[in-house]
Amino acid sequence: MAYLGAAYLWVKAAHVIFVIFLMAGLFMMPRFFVYHQETTPGSPEDKSWIARETRLLKIILNPSLVLTWLFGLMLMVEIGAWHFGWFHLKLLFVLGLSGYHGWIAGYTKKLARGQRPLTDRQLRMLNEVPGIAAAVIVIAVIVKPF
């Protein structure tokens, strides 16, 4: 433990906590989208879904993403993770999840404008992305296959 010292385990715990919050939001939002798309744009129900999605994005998803990255980068520096193959795989999938978060933010805005570019089936398929990514990340970090 180089610079974090006794705080290392606290930083690691915080990283895992905010990853859990982030993943919960990444699983929840596409389900919101499926239900939201069934509403008529401009209706009271549509406005309720817009409010729910905005709160989830601003209160849980955005802060969790930032804090996950902050604590993760601290851990990366602490253990010199850049030198490990497993870390490169993890980083690739974390970047993918960060992009997925960006897509979620963008789709939230589209729904708020009354646009419905994807089908319910497509949204349900996209809902599998965070689960697959999480499985790969956990295997990379725990098993360290390379």
| Known binding residues | 15, 90
CA-CA distance, 122 to 86, in Å (whole number)? Answer: 31
Annotated binding site for heme: 15, 90
In 3-state terms, what secondary structure has residue 114? coil
Q: Which residues contact 64 (CB under 8 A, 6 or more apart)?
A: 18, 19, 21, 22, 25
* Closest among 118, 96, 98 to 107, alpha carbons compared: 118
In 3-state terms, what secondary structure has residue 128? coil
The pair of three-digit structure tokens given for residue 19, joined into one six-digit string:
């990853």
